Structure formats: C-alpha cells, structure tokens
Structure 1
Amino acid sequence: MATITERDLAATIDHAILKPELTRADVDAELDIAAEWRVFSVCVRPSDIAHAVARLDGTGVAVGTVIGFPHGTTSTAAKVAEVRQALADGATEFDMVVNIGALRSGFDDVVTADIAAVVAAASGHVTKVILETSLLDDEQIARGSRLTEAGGADFVKTSTGFAGGGATVPHVELMRANVGPGVQVKASGGVRSYADALAMLAAGATRLGTSGSAVILGEARRVDAGGDAVGAVDASSY
C-alpha cells in the first residue's frame, strides 16, 4: 500500500471551517487544530478571514476563503467584489463555486467568463473552481474541468460539501483526465480518513479539502511510527 508521511500529507490539506452555525469559539478551535497539525491552509467563511489571518500569524498556515458559496449563482460582479474584499482582509487562496446552472445549461461562454473574472480579480493568487460534482453528470464534470482551465484557474475542485455527496475517486480521475498539467485537482467533501486521503491522491488530487484533518493526520502519524492506520486500505483497490 502506498503511504505518505504526516508532514507531506499535511502539506496537501486545506482545513475547512465553513459550517454556517460555527461560533467564534468553534472557529478558534478549528484554527488551533490547523496550526497544531501544520496543514497547508484553512478555508474559512469570508467574514472570518481577518480574524483567521491574525490568529494564524506566524504559524505558516495560509488563509483561503470561498467565493459565491455554496451555490455559485451570485453574479460575476458580486463574486469579483467578494474576491477584492477577501484580498483586503488577507486571504491568499480563493475557492469559487462555478455557476452550476449555467454549466448544466451548456452556457460555456458564461461559465468561462465568470471564472476568468474571478481569476483576474485574484491578481495572481491561487483560484480553485468548485464544480459540485454531485449535481453533474460525467459529461458536465469533464466539460466543467476544461472550462476551468480555459478560464485560467489553478485548480478544479469536486465539491462544496453542502450539496450531498462529495469527492469520489472516479470523479477525481475524470477531472484529472480533462485538464492539462498546469491545472491541479482538489478533492473535497467526504475525505475523512487516511485511507480516503490516499485514494484521492492516488487518483490525481494534489490538494484535499477536509474538516477531518486531525483524524487523517493522526492516522498518518501512527503509520510514520510503524503502526497501522485505522481503516487504511490499499489505494489501488479504489
């Protein structure tokens, strides 16, 4: 079974802190988890950006946020305004939701222009496009992946985690097959264990969105120490 060290795995994780019901104390607890496990970044609600930047100062954990979340149906102008405010608040990565209805309708020019406008507003910072794969068929996922690349984004991402379903190995593989080497794939939604993480990375993901970072990295730590991860399976079986 392919394995990955705790440190290398942590470097793939965007720790999600996005549930609408979270209190400030809940958010702080999650930010502390991200700092403790030294994940790559947190992905926080837009209203939490400035606080997260201040609390994580000096930890090496980047702060990202969501744009047009969770449905993707806000106007392009609204998405651009969100990016500009998020930049001012200190965010450095942006996970935008694609206009799902436009993608399903075949309005490819609308989808591409929406992505391109957000990418331009991000001013060189990393932009990820969430397709919400549970609401799409394979043709739409493949086309959405290609439109993500056409719009200039850095990543295509599976899910918000708020529409049912989540990342699957076949969808990650499909997305990987439909973008060039300059576009990466983020698996998000339902990535809850070390085994899940291995499977998504083996399928072609290079970033993982999860709120289960402590569980996943705790299992990786046990593997590093020569033990077995709880629920670990051969990634090749996925």
Structure 2
Amino acid sequence: MRENREILRHIDHTLLNAAASWEEIQRLCEEAVAYGTASVCIPPCYIERVREAYGDRLNICTVIGFPLGYSTRESKVFEAKDAVEKGAQEVDMVINITDLKNGDIQKVTAEIRAVKEAVGDAVLKVIIETCYLTEQEKTAMCRAVTSAGADYIKTSTGFGTKGADIEDIRLFKKYIGENVKIKAAGGIRTREALEAFLSEGCDRIGTSSAVKLLTNTTGCE
C-alpha cells in the first residue's frame, strides 16, 4: 500500500463545477498547499486570482475546449495562450471528438500540435474522452498525441457518460510514445481506485475526492 503523501503527489486536485465559488476555490488551493498535490485544476476564470493569492506555492492547471471539445482550433489556441499568460503551468485540452468521428485524425493531430506550440514549455494534457471512442479510435489518439508532442494523454473530462477505465490505461501503455505520460480522470472516488490507476502506470489522477479520502478533511464537492 502506498503512503498517502505519495498518492497525493500524483493528484490534480480538481474543482470544475459550473458554480464553483471563490471560497470553494480557496479551500481547494489551501488543501493542495497543505497536502502537496501535483496541482490544482481550476476553471480558467480563476487563474489570475489564484496566482495572485498563492504565487509559487502551488501548480495551476486549467482546462480549454472544455468539456465538449468542439470549439475551433483557433479558439483553443487563444484559450491556451491566455491561460499560460495568466499563470497556468498546465493545460488540459479536449480534442475535437467530432473530427475524430469523421475520420480526420490529421486534423485532430494538427490541433493538438497547435495548442502545444501555444503553451510552449507549459505541460499539455490531451483529453480524448474515452467513453465515446472505439478501441481503434483510442489507439489512433495514442499515436496522434505522441506525434503532436503533447505531454500527457488523459482519459476523460468527468462530464461524459463514463470516466476512467483500467483497460484504457493498459491500451494507452501499448500505443503511446515513451515521452507521453498518462492521466486518468472521472469517477475515481476510492483509495483502491487511486492505488489501482497508479499501479497501472498513471502519472496523474484528476479527482476532487483524493484529499478527502486520504486526509479526513471535508474536501470540495
């Protein structure tokens, strides 16, 4: 069994609710600082305020093209640049699932590459929303994420019909490049699940539940 601190170092402590208040965001950040999570994953509108309040005490992650992914490449590039300029060190983007379903993997790859160029040295995680994809499409996205130079492939937004699945992590490991890491997110709400995803090779887990599970705090809903 892993120590709590070891697990928390892999957690993107997340609050992406549409009605998330500043008080809730502050609590999220305070927990991240206290327990040493990998990052806080927050709505873009809070990036500047969090950076001003917490400085370098925590790692700020945000989302773009979220949660449906069908905004244009140009708008995602703008969102990504804006997020990094405001203080985000990590960006989780949602692919254009419609392009993938239409068989245009080259367009999806080009979009990922453009967003990676926009964020520069910041970390780019690519959400492929596995619940909507066939195994063939998941495999194609492993190769696209690798080819486009992204840092992570990520399972889910948490807003789809299903979250992370261990079998998808095993598939990712078979087809991603050696420089691509894995993030699982969506529906991971038990210590056993946290342990299982880390044991399968995930470097990050996106969840709002880990701090509450492992530290007996009230957590963030």
Write the distance in 1 (CA, Å) between the matches of 2:195 and 2:53.
30
- The answer for the alignment partner of 1:176 in structure 2 is 173
> Aligned pair 1:66/2:63, yes or no?
yes
1:197 is displaced (CA, Å) by: 0.8
Instruction: Report deviation, 1:192.
Output: 1.3
From the CA coordinates, give the structure whose radius of gyration is larger: 1
Gaps of 5+ in 1: 220-238
Closer, same or farther: CA 34–105 of 1 in aligned 2, 3 Å:
same
Output the CA distance in 1 between the equivalents of 2:196 and 2:154.
16
User: Which position in structure 1 is the counterpart of 2:7?
Assistant: 9
CA distance in 1, matches of 2:39, 2:142: 23
Deviates more, 1:108-117 or 1:205-214: 205-214
1:41 Cα shift? 0.3
Say which SS state the counterpart of residue 55 (structure 2) adopts: coil
2:209 paired with 1:208: no
Q: For 1:115, give the aligned amino acid.
A: I
Query: For structure 1, which segment, 187-196 or 152-161, has the greater mean C-alpha deviation from structure 2 after superposition?
Result: 187-196
C-alpha contact 1:37 1:217 (8 A) present in aligned 2? no
Deviations 1:106-128 (A, max 9, x none): 10110000000000001121101
Q: Is 1:136 paired with 2:133? A: yes
Contact persistence 2:8–2:211 (CA under 8 A)? no
* Alpha-carbon distance in 1 for matches of 2:119, 2:199: 29
Moved more, 142-151 or 22-31: 22-31
Amino acid at match of 1:55: A
TM-score (norm. length: structure 1) = 0.87
SS in 2 for 1:190: coil
For 1:78 and 1:48, locate their aligned partners in 2 and report how far apart those are by CA, in whole Å.
19
Partner SS state of residue 120, structure 2: coil
User: Residue in 1 aligned with 2:194?
Assistant: 197
Q: CA deviation at 1:7?
A: 2.1
Cα-to-partner distance string for 1:81-118 (whole Å, 9 max, x where unaligned): 00111111100101000111111221011000000000
Could you tell me which amino acid in structure 2 is paired with residue 153 of structure 1?
A
Q: Would you say 1:24 and 2:22 are equivalent positions?
A: yes
The counterpart of 2:123, out of the listed 119, 126, 141, is: 126
Structure 1 residue 147 and structure 2 residue 144: aligned? yes
Aligned residues: 216
Q: Secondary structure at the match of 2:12?
A: strand
Q: Write out the 4+ residue segments of structure 1 that deviate beyond 3 Å after TM superposition.
A: none
Instruction: Check whether the contact 2:123–2:151 (CA below 8 A) recurs between aligned residues.
Output: yes
Cα distance in 1 for residues equivalent to 2:178 and 2:213: 27
Letter in 2 for 1:109: Q
Report the CA distance between 1:58 and its aligned residue. 4.6
Same amino acid, percent of matched pairs: 34
Measure how far apart 1:52 and its partner are: 1.6
Unaligned 5+ runs, structure 2? 217-221
